[in-house]
Structure formats: C-alpha cells, structure tokens
Chains A and B, each alone.
Chain A
Amino acid sequence: MKTNRRKFLNFLIGGGLLGWISSVVYPIVSFLIPPKIPEANVNSVSAGTAADFPANTGKIIQFGRKPVLLFKDDNGEFHAFDGTCTHLDCIVQYRQDTKQIWCACHNGIYDMSGRNVSGPPPRPLEEFTVNIVNDEIIIINPAG
C-alpha cells in the first residue's frame, strides 16, 4: 500500500517535472522558428529595354525574393533561369568566354538551356519565360 502510494507520488512528481520542462522548452523552440512572412506573389518583372542589353552578356534580376539569371545570346535571343544553383544555393552567372552558366562556389556548369552538364549540380535550372513587349524585357514565372 505504502509502496504504491510512493510509486504514485513519484509518477506524479516525475510527470509534473516533464510537463514543467516541456512548458519551458516549447515556447523557446517556437520562438526560434521564424514566422512565415507573407510574400507578394510575383509572376512577372520588367528587366529593362531589350535594345540596351548587349549580346553575349547576362545579369541577375530580382524576381520577388529570388534571383533570376537573364542573358542574351549571340543571336539576340533572351533566356532566363532560376539564378540559384541546384547544388548548394549559390547564385550562378553567365560566362561570356565559355557561353555557359557557371556557379563559382563549387564549379558547377550548366549549358545555355539550363541543363547541368558538369560539376556537382544534381538538377537543371528552372527556366523562366522571356517576352519582349514594345522593346521591354518581361520575365514571367511559368509556374506562377
């Protein structure tokens, strides 16, 4: 009878202690998890005038919170891809000398159609649509 009471009390105190620890740890962990910040749904951005964009060059365009790589090939055609390397999150660039998309962090290389052709990137870059409207470059997210 006595032992049972002791066991019961130990269980109660132990359970109370666990409850107390969780009531301290839970708010701290929740505090550290960043809240979701509502983001404006960006489906398209303007990237300047097509005539001002030299051939065989590229630049990073801000697409909402994401970088997008825009480049113009030798034929004057525009291409846009997700600017984040599929390997480890670095931002890629267009290389004029090799006419490839290059990530300097781990020497990842994609061809001009965004396919991963050399180095560690495991997947191709997501392609964006480029439209020229009255000489203005408009980049459109096909998923949006």
Chain B
Amino acid sequence: MIKNIGQKIYAWVDERFELSPILKFMSEKNVPVHRHTAWYYMGGVTLFLFITQVVTGILLLFYYRPGADSAYESMRFILTEVNFGWLIRSIHSWSANLMVFFVFVHMFSTFFTRSYKKPRELTWLTGFVLLALSLGFGFSGYLLPWNELAFFATKVGTDIVGVIPVIGKPIMAVLRGGEDVTGATLTRFYAFHVAMLPAIFTVILFVHVLFVQKQGMSEPEGFSKNKKTMPFFPDFFLRDALLWMIVLNVLLFLAVFYPWDLGFKADPFSPAPAGILPEWYFIFMFQTLKMIPAHVLFIEGEVLGILSFLVAGLAWALVPFWELKSKRKGFSNPMNIIGIIALVYIIIMTIIGYTS
C-alpha cells in the first residue's frame, strides 16, 4: 500500500522533472577502494557537523537576544531556564569545535594524498574558502555570549586585522562597528554569524560538493593498475551514515559530560584576566604573536607575524598552482616535508600555548 503510494509519487515527479538521469548517475557512482579510502569520509563528517550547527543554531535563535545588555543575560536564561537549553548550547559549541577539527583533518588528508592536483584545483580552492569561513564562524560565534574571554579574544582578533597596512584600519572599523569593541560589534558579529556567513558558506559548499560529484573521488597514483571500487549507494553511503552516528554519539557524550562554560560577563573597563586564550584553532597564531619580539630589525613584531601568516595562508590556498613536482615518496618528497612542517608547527605551538 505505502510502496504503491511511493511509486505513484515517484512516477508523478519523474514525469515532470525526469529523475531517471539523476538516479542513473547515483547508481553508477563508485568510490575507489585503497589504503587511503578512510580519508574520503572526513568531508562527509564535516558536512554532518555543519548540519548540526545549522539545526542547533536555529534553535538558539529562539531565545538569544543580541546586545551588550541582553546577550549574556539571554545566554544565562538559555542555560538555566530553558528546557534542554544547556544541551542545545553545548552541542552547538562542541560541534563547532569538532567541525573545525574535521575541516583541518579533511584539508591535511587532501594535501598529503595530493588530491588537489589537476583537475581538482578549484575543489581545493573552494575547500580553503570553506576553511576560512569556518574559522570566521568560530570567531564571530565566540563573541555572542558576550563574556570576558570572548571580549578580549575579539579585541585582539580585530586589532590583528587593523595591523594590516593601508586597508587594515578601515576593515577593523567595519568589523567592530566603530573604533572599539562595543555592543555595536556584537550586533555586527551576530549579523555575520547568523546571516552573512551561513549564506556564503552554503553557496560555496554547494559548489564544492558539485565539483566532487562532477569529477568523482580523487584516486591515488598507480591506482588504475589494480582498480577496486565500491558503489556509492548503498555501500559507501551506509558506511558514511554509520560514521555520522558515531560522531553524533561522541558529540552527545562531550555535550553532556563536558558542558560549555558561560564564564563572566564582559566588562570593557576591566583588565584582561590571567590565562586568557582564544579558541584552540587560533592558539598557534596567538602563541607565535606572543613569542615574536617587539621589533625584528626595522619592523614591528606583530606586523611581521601577521603579514607572515597572511603570506603563508595565501601560499597554502594556491598550493595546486605552485606544487613542487617530485617522484620521491614519503619524507623525501618536498610537498610532504612542507605539509609536515606546517602540521608540526601548528601542533607544537598549540601545545606551548596551552602549557606556557
């Protein structure tokens, strides 16, 4: 009976929109099977966490009130009065962190498996933009509870933008909504976080996924000699779904047993508290800025540090266009060495940031 109705609905839609070619494409879609296949799942996990962000973010919007006099209070209301408010907020915070983590894993796995090579240069580039937008999500969302840590993290973060020669100061004023971090900054970050960034992110994500669908999964070098694949539907899809369930369980475990703290309300006229740290994914930059001396030759340390990160980020985004070609494998391949240096630098600086 239900099957019959389903078939009828399908026939009705198919008659009007020709679904058959889409179904044919999906049924013929294959995923290469080799020792690096596990990395194919990382993009899917990131997508799942993004969906979690959208759902929990929309729920939080029902109670959150932006503004220097209302943001912190509304967050406290969500955490203490609203049914499961603490859980929704905690899932939102944890999934944001996990999402950034998986974006990094996805990016480094793409880098080390050379999946960015021709013809996938634009997939890499759109992926890099998604990484930047994810960091933007994290940075803008961090301020919304209007607590002490977020206030100073935003002061430092936006001041970093202001250090960029010529264009820095006007961009900083636009980000802050004035000269200083105030309630106006909070309103702007709210607009970035809930409207602007999601709109841009969704469009670029669509393009990114479209590229992957059009070009198929990247195959490692020498794969064509001993080709082994699995159908996307249902084999890969079910494995993907299983992993999503595992991630959801991990997420719930973290949200329930390690709920996110609200901290103290921001006071623009109190000193920065001791032990202040930004989100973990900014720590390597934070620690670098802390370690660079006040002046390096004729240039101010902070300017040097920030410009170096800008150049490094740009070079990383354009990797497919300047890749050092080499037939060497493992640690002797120059691109592997570059990737390992970047990864080790990030890890070591993060550890120093937390322990010093």
Contact = CB atoms under 8 A, between A and B. Distances in A.
Contact of B289 (A67, A83, A92, A120): A120
Contact of A122 (B160, B269, B294): B294
B219 interface: no
A32 B156 CA distance: 21
Given A34-B174, A105-B276, A122-B301, A62 B269 contact: yes
Interface residues of A, number: 28
B179 to A, nearest CB: 8
Interface string B269-283: 111111110000000
A65 to B, nearest CB: 6
Contact of A91 (B173, B272, B300, B301): B272
B170 interface: yes
Interface residues of B, number: 35
B152 interface: yes
B269 A105 contact: no
A105 B293 CA distance: 15
B184 A120 contact: no
Interface string B133-174: 000000000000000000010011011100100000010011
Given A33-B174, A105-B152, A89 B159 contact: yes
Contacts of A49: none
Contacts of A65: 179-180
Contacts of A92: 271-272
A90 B160 contact: no
B173 A34 contact: yes
Contacts of B268: 67
B161 to A, nearest CB: 11
Contact of B272 (A32, A37, A90): A90
A92 B274 CA distance: 10
Interface in A33-89: 33-34, 37, 60-62, 65, 67, 69, 83, 87-89
Nearest to B178: A34
B294 A90 contact: no
A60 B271 contact: yes
B272 A88 contact: no
Interface string B205-240: 000000000000000000000000000000000000
Interface string A11-34: 000000000000000000000111
Contacts of B170: 33
Interface in B291-327: 292-295, 300-302
Contact of A93 (B156, B173, B271): B271
- Which of B268, B270, B271: most chain A CB closer than 10 A? B271
Contacts of A60: 269-271
B271 A89 contact: no
Contacts of A67: 268-269
A72 B289 CA distance: 31
B290 interface: yes
Interface string A103-126: 111110000000010011110000
